[in-house]
Amino acid sequence: MSQNILIQQCKERIGAKNLALELAELLGVNPDAAYRRMRGDTALTFDEIQKICTRFNISFDSVINYQGRLVPFQFNAMFRDKFSIINYLMGIEQELLMLSKMGTTDARIVMTAMDLPYFRQFGFKSLSRFKLFFWQRSVLNLPDFSTKKYDANESLGEYEDITDRIYENYHGVPSVEIWAPETLDSTIKQIQYYLESGLFVDKQSAVQICDDVESLLTKLEREAQIGRKFIQTSKGSIASTFEMYQSDVFLSNNCIQAFKDGKTYTYVSFNSFNSLMSFSPHFSDECNRWIEQIRLKSILLSEVSEKLRYQFFKRLREKLAQLREMI
The vertex-38 CA angle with 36 and 42, nearest 5°, equals 40
Output the tens digit of pLDDT for each of the chain's 327 residues: 778 888 888 887 777 788 999 999 999 999 999 999 999 899 999 999 999 988 887 777 666 655 556 677 777 766 666 567 788 888 888 888 888 877 656 789 999 988 888 889 998 999 999 999 998 899 888 888 889 999 999 988 888 889 999 999 999 999 999 999 999 999 999 999 999 999 999 999 999 999 999 999 999 999 999 999 999 988 889 999 999 999 987 777 788 889 887 778 888 877 666 777 877 777 888 888 989 999 999 999 999 889 999 999 999 999 999 999 999
Question: What residue type is assigned to position 176 of the chain?
Answer: V
Residues 227, 68 contacting (CB under 8 angstroms): no
| CA atoms of 209 and 188, how far apart (whole Å) | 10
Burial (0-12, 13-18, 19+ Cβ within 10 Å), 191: buried
Exposed/middle/buried for residue 93 (C-beta within 10 Å: 0-12, 13-18, 19+):
buried
| pLDDT for res 65 | 58
Q: Do residues 312 and 181 touch, judged by C-beta distance below 8 A?
A: yes
Whole-number Å distance between alpha carbons of 61 and 71: 8
Domain ranges in the chain? Answer: 2-63, 85-326
Predicted confidence at residue 78, as pLDDT, reads: 67
Instruction: Please report the sign of the dihedral spanned by the C-alpha atoms of residue 95, residue 97, residue 115, residue 224.
Output: negative
Beta strands at 175-179 and 107-113: parallel, antiparallel or unpaired: parallel
**Residue 246 confidence (pLDDT):** 95
Residue 99 pLDDT: 85
Residue 90 has what pLDDT?
85
Yes or no: domain 2-63 corresponds to CATH 1.10.1060: no
The pLDDT, as a whole number, for residue 175 is 94
Query: What is the C-alpha separation between 199 and 197, in angstroms, rounded?
Result: 5
| Contact between residue 145 and residue 139 where contact means Cβ atoms under 8 Å apart | no
Distance in Å from the first CA to the final CA of the chain: 61
Q: Which amino acid is at 235?
A: K
User: How high is the pLDDT of residue 271?
Assistant: 66
> What pLDDT sits at residue 69?
65
pLDDT at residue 243 in the model: 95
Q: How many residues does the chain have?
A: 327
Distance between CA atoms of residues 266 and 73, nearest Å: 10
Q: What is the pLDDT of residue 284?
A: 84
The pLDDT assigned to 283 comes to 83
Give a three-class secondary structure readout of the chain: CHHHHHHHHHHHHHCCCCHHHHHHHHHCCCHHHHHHHHHCCCCCCHHHHHHHHHHHCCCHHHHCCCCCCCCCCECCCCCCCCCCHHHHHHHHHHHHHHHHHCCCCCEEEEEEECCCCHHHHCCCHHHHHHHHHHHHHHHCCCHHHCCCCECCCCCCCHHHHHHHHHHHHHHCCCEEEEECCCCCHHHHHHHHHHHHCCCECCHHHHHHHHHHHHHHHHHHHHHHHHCEEEEEECCEEEEEEEEEEECCCCCCCCEEEEEECCEEEEEEEECCCEEEEECCHHHHHHHHHHHHHHHHCCEECCCCCHHHHHHHHHHHHHHHHHHHHHC
